[in-house]
Amino acid sequence: MSTFSAPKGTYDLLPPESADFLAVREAISAPLRRAGYGYVETPGFEHVELFARGVGESTDIVTKEMYTLTTKGGDELALRPEGTASVLRAALQANLHRGALPVKLWYSGSYYRYERPQAGRYRHFSQVGAEALGAEDPALDAELVILAADAYRALGLRQVRLLLNSLGDAECRPVYRAALQDFLRALDLDEDTRARIEINPLRVLDDKRESVRAQLTDAPLMRDHLCEGCKSYHEQVRELLLAAGVEFEDDPRLVRGLDYYTRTTFEFVHDGLGSQSAVGGGGRYDGLAEMIGGPALPSVGWALGVDRTVLALRAEGVELPRADATEVFAVPVGEDARRTLFHTVTELRRQGVAADFAYGGKGLKNAMKSANRSGAALALVLGERDLAERVAQLKDLATGEQVAVPLENLTTEVLAKLNRPTAR
């Protein structure tokens, strides 16, 4: 055992559980790749100011949860707490917005927030995200929501609910903001929350404390203050989702925890996860590019939590297929047999077969135990007598049936047994 352990609020991802995380990442990214989204990868840390401007100086993420550091050169950096600001910064820096629009990008990685660890909430977590930059189009908002919904469906999740709202734009948001501030100022709130009323009152609506939520029952709603343009835009998004067969619930109180959202806002939740029910979400952020010093670039995106999605799968009892599960396990007895079977294993792997090998010179009994523990469908057994007869024993580990196969036909016979195409 090591003297060290993982830092509080983090986790190590190890087999076999790690296979579920890989399967979730693949299921989420597959629809995006089919829809023309290209992969982007950004540094694990950025300048603090990027998140202060983009995420919002009044958010808990910036004020309480960012991991920050000062470099030897005096730069203030932060481990990335979310992905959108970094991806937008990278796209602007590379001048992608000067080409064909929208720029469609997807990403996957780890993010970091200093918060109280609990089930479903860690200080280091994994997300897959998507951003469509440079177009203000209800179809683009609907596309992203549909791609996320399709990913959850492909994983076999059936209890994910989609919440949908509109947060208005620069025309109607100020009117709503003023009405909400008037309402909130009359409530019995602590000093920090009162300060937030003046900076970003919508963030108060996202407060999870029951003492605050109980006072928000009669708070004014954004939907009652939407301008005609925002009403029309939101209705088009709704119609496109309904036409695609994506069910949703209108949630007029949905705000989410970031300052940059405008118009379309959505969240995927799973009731089997308790208080930490959100598994992903996103929305439109038409002014974010300008907030971080770029040109006007209307955009929309989302991030889905890999950790939360795995928990949701387990809550529903969904077992994911293991794409990397061992199919064939080779068991040699003797040095000459080791060389022969090692060559066969290499050939099988080159044909796309997941094959493993009894390393370490194990005896037949222990090697067969390893074969059974591997979960493989077939075992290849080769001893000195087999080698002399130029055959290997091909054993079905489920039925126990065993047949002798000529060594020169071994790869072809294994592929046939696994219903794979003939060896190239």
Binding residues for L-histidine: 82-84, 113, 127, 131, 256, 260-261
Task: Name the token pair of 73.
Answer: 């050169």
403 membership: H or E segment, kind and range: strand 402-406
Return d(Cα 60, Cα 47) in angstroms, integer: 18
The answer to whether the CB of 160 falls within 8 A of the CB of 270 is: yes
Nearest to 319 by CA among 151, 156, 160: 156
Distance CA 49, CA 54 (A): 8
Measuring CA to CA, which residue among 110, 40, 113 is closest to residue 305?
A: 110
Other Cβ atoms within 10 Å of 236 Cβ, number: 16
Instruction: Determine how many CB atoms are found less than 10 A away from the CB of residue 84.
Output: 24
* Residues of each annotated binding site: 82-84, 113, 127, 131, 256, 260-261
Residues forming a β-bridge with 230: none
CA neighbor of 162 nearest in space, from 139, 142, 138 = 142
The amino acid at 307: D
For residues 11 and 293, give the distance between their C-alpha atoms in angstroms, rounded to a whole number.
36
- Run of H or E residues at 329: strand 328-332
DSSP one-letter string for 331-382? EE-SHHHHHHHHHHHHHHHHTT--EEE--S---HHHHHHHHHHHT-SEEEEE
